[in-house]
Amino acid sequence: MTQELLVSMIDEEDRDQVGPNRLDSDNPLAYAEYRIRRADTGEVRWVARQGEVIEGATEAQRRYVGVAFDVTQRRQIEQELRTSQDRLVAIFGQASVGLSELSLEGRFERVNGALCRMLGRSEEQMLGVHMDDLIHPDDKQENTALVQQLLATGQPFTLEKRYFRPDGEWVWVSSSMSRLDDACGRPVSLIAVKIDITERRRIEAALRDLNDTLEQRVTREIAERDKAEEALRQAQKMEAVGQLTGGVAHDFNNVLQIISGNLHLLAQHVQADQVARRRLEMAIAAVERGAKLSSQLLAFARRQPLQPVVADLGKLVSNMDELLRRALGEAVELVTVIGSGLWNALVDPGQIENVILNLAINARDAMQGAGRLTIELGNAVLDEYYVNNLVDVPSGHYVMLSVTDTGCGMTPEVLQRAFEPFFTTKPEGEGTGLGLSMAYGFVKQSRGHIKIYSEPGQGTSVKIYLPRTTQAETDDIVPRTGPATGGSETILVVEDDEGVRHVVLDMLAALGYRVLQAENGEQALRIIESGEPVDLLFTDVVMPGTLRSPELARIAQQLRPDLAVLFTSGYPQNSIVHGGRLDEGLELLSKPYRREELARKLRHVLNNRAQQTLAQARQRSVLEAGAGGASELLEPAPAIERDASLRVLVVEDNLDSQQMVCELVGMLGHTVSGVSDGEAAWELMQAQDFDILFTDVSLPGMSGIELARRVVAARPMRVIFSTGYGKEALDHLGFPAACLRKPYDLMELQAALDAARAQTPADHPH
């Protein structure tokens, strides 16, 4: 074959490798592979050639001598192998699971991107690292044993283990490892496939925890359901008793009022007849027992109209000492323990006294008239854990009243029914079974909590928790004892029950009052509108007709601002009582009442109204003098000792802010009262003494500045303004004051109070 023919057969892509230049060179190619195209079929085949060039005498005699063989199949196999390897590399690098090849010693030699992302490291950081350096210490022993078994037997394994990440987290991985052998069966390396199972393990752990606590949770849910059902049954029972009581109480108390009133009136005419006097006293005592029974039923049903005031229970219990000793007898030792720094509570004094007296009498009977009764008062905190199993008892600060005896105690069965109305263990005729139920209803109505601790033979302890208040103690200005005096004022009596109306008219006339009468609200309003002089409106709460008593009182006081109002009722329903408490600013005399109670209540209401009218007249005269004149009337505020507790009145229309400020002032050791508007603050100022007025500038109705002007014009007073507008709003006040800009913290509040304590009239408001 000539050189030209050979070259013409070689594929164009390979001619540079084995073409004429190579054949003609001084160093001819000994071996080469190239493609040729068959002339007959056009098929391209791979050919391997090996030989040498033999020189001739002439150029024409120069020849190539060698062999050629077809290597097409081998070249195809090699190409397929390279393609397969490229595919495997791509699969390894792009796999969604972690893939790695490790040396027989356990060091990473190849890793893919998924494994790097899983373990939070780059490829450079992974290569050469020993797997034991990344595995959790608790998982190393099992992993090492399985790897050794794999190297010895070739048996693959799968293990769930934890790997450490540079961010400090441990990732759970399911690792399947196998051994890679060579053609002779000798181990070459280890291949590992890893899947991130962190989320699965978290779910499994949560499921295990759920299963482990399922029984507890079911028990707790059943207990919660039982508690809710018991609360529902109790509420339904209370509602049923309340409906029954409310339906009867009004008419029953009206009947008692007629009997009581006539008995008291009759008693004025039989002073000399001892027999008649004794019978009247027995009848009056029976009426009072009936009234007490009605009151106890209303208290249990939480429908007793409470009139709570801020009270120091320590003083209240101390004042009851003589009464309790008489009720208990000489054989019962009375011990009273009052904790230091006792908080104030918002409570109806008369009702809490009845509760304490009933508990003391129950204790006396349980001790069979001899033993020790301990009354203890202290501060208490009911936390979230304690109230978790209680119904309608919020966590927080309470004043605790404990009554403990050394009596016979209660069995669990008796203890479970102790608060039920009419349930008693006393012999028939010796108890109504309403004492504890009345205490329960009163405490619940006062938003408190009551609990009995008792064991047979170990005595009984009743603990009452009443919510704490940071307000200052209210002075008890209602006289409870002393002579019942009358007056000469004109009283308009509004009562639909004819019998009650005649009795009340006779009682008032006997006290010296001029009396007018009306059967309903419409008649009473016509009397008011006629111009007839009236000093006090004495009206029943529940009356027929379209004009309700609260509306009658409102219209009447609009027509006559100096008119005093006193409500009376045997069951006021929701007319003037909301949330179990008498509406603020109202006066109520519950039926049935005695002549003395009526007389004292009337004088109390009339005197309060006279004081308010006098204060308003004095204020008007001061304001008429003008701002300049008011400034001249200012007197230096009296000095306050450096460490003395301040009496602070907080005026803030935002109730949340008001409560917050009162809490902070209380934390600083001062006594505090809070109101929502200037008008209420002004009225409270007439009844109580304060050292500092702490008021917002913007208030509904009377502004804080106007309120402060009135206050400092009427009496020397230190003033702190709380405002979000800055001091510029307080320019040209004309009297000394401090400014505390919102928002402020506890330290700023304390500094403002300290500054106000030392304030003098010469101080500038800024």
For helices 655-667 and 746-757, angle between their N-to-C axes, nearest 10 degrees? 70
User: Which residues, in sequence order, are CB contacts of 522 under 8 Å at separation 6+?
Assistant: 545, 546, 547
Over the stretch 88-120, which tens digit does the pLDDT of each residue have?
A: 677 677 777 888 989 999 999 988 888 898 899
pLDDT band per the 50, 70, 90 thresholds, residue 182: confident
Given a cut of 90, is residue 212 above it in pLDDT? no
What percent of the chain has a predicted confidence (pLDDT) above 70?
Answer: 76
pLDDT band per the 50, 70, 90 thresholds, residue 385: confident
- The DSSP H or E segment spanning 679 is helix 678-687
Query: What confidence score (pLDDT) does residue 103 get?
Result: 93
CA distance 486 to 220: 63
CA distance 66 to 140: 64
| Torsion sign (Cα): 671, 675, 678, 680 | negative
Over the stretch 23-51, which tens digit does the pLDDT of each residue have?
A: 444 445 567 888 888 888 888 888 888 88
pLDDT band per the 50, 70, 90 thresholds, residue 190: very high
CA distance 17 to 10: 10
CA distance 711 to 704: 10
Query: What confidence score (pLDDT) does residue 536 get?
Result: 92
More confident residue, 345 or 304: 345
Report yes or no: 192 and 180 within 8 Å, Cβ to Cβ: no
* Strand ranges, E, within 105-156: 108-111
Report yes or no: 143 and 135 within 8 Å, Cβ to Cβ: yes
Task: Kindly report the average pLDDT of the chain as a whole number.
Answer: 78
Question: Which residue intervals of 446-497 are DSSP H helices?
Answer: none
Residue 743: CB atoms within 10 Å: 9
Over the stretch 458-474, which tens digit does the pLDDT of each residue have?
A: 889 999 999 888 777 76
Closest CA to 526 of 552, 546, 544, 545: 552
Residue 83 DSSP SS3 = helix
Least confident range of 111-125, 227-241, 311-325: 227-241
Closest CA to 399 of 324, 314, 493: 314
Given a cut of 70, is residue 444 above it in pLDDT? yes
pLDDT band per the 50, 70, 90 thresholds, residue 644: low
CA distance 162 to 85: 32
Least confident range of 295-299, 365-369, 480-484, 616-620: 480-484
Closest CA to 464 of 315, 311, 313: 313
Query: What confidence score (pLDDT) does residue 618 get?
Result: 58
pLDDT band per the 50, 70, 90 thresholds, residue 384: confident
More confident residue, 189 or 216: 189
Least confident range of 85-89, 249-253, 316-320, 678-682: 249-253
Given a cut of 80, is residue 232 above it in pLDDT? no
State the pairing for strand pair 536-540/490-494.
parallel
Is the previous residue joined to 427 through a cis bond, with omega within 30 degrees of 0? no
Report yes or no: 727 and 741 within 8 Å, Cβ to Cβ: yes
Burial tier of 115 (Cβ tally within 10 Å: 0-12, 13-18, 19+) = buried
Query: What confidence score (pLDDT) does residue 660 get?
Result: 77
Query: What confidence score (pLDDT) does residue 634 get?
Result: 42
pLDDT band per the 50, 70, 90 thresholds, residue 2: very low
Distances (CA, A) of 694 to 180, 660, 708, 711, 723: 86, 13, 9, 12, 11
Given a cut of 70, is residue 129 above it in pLDDT? yes
Query: What confidence score (pLDDT) does residue 764 get?
Result: 38
Residue 401: CB atoms within 10 Å: 28
Rounded mean pLDDT, 321-339: 87
Highest mean pLDDT among 440-449, 485-494, 635-644: 485-494
Question: Which residue intervals of 530-590 are DSSP H helices?
Answer: 549-559
Report yes or no: 531 and 515 within 8 Å, Cβ to Cβ: no
CA distance 673 to 81: 93
Report yes or no: 499 and 483 within 8 Å, Cβ to Cβ: no
Query: What confidence score (pLDDT) does residue 294 get?
Result: 63
Phi, psi dihedral angles at 671 (to 5 degrees): -90, 140
In the structure encoding, which two tokens stand for residue 701, read together? 């109705």
Closest CA to 458 of 523, 407, 422: 407
Highest mean pLDDT among 84-98, 110-124, 205-219: 110-124
Residue 459 DSSP SS3 = coil
Rounded mean pLDDT, 736-758: 78
Rounded mean pLDDT, 159-176: 92
Given a cut of 50, is residue 760 above it in pLDDT? no
What radius of gyration do the chain's Cα atoms show? 49
Given a cut of 60, is residue 281 above it in pLDDT? yes
What percent of the chain has a predicted confidence (pLDDT) above 90?
Answer: 15
Is the previous residue joined to 700 through a cis bond, with omega within 30 degrees of 0? no
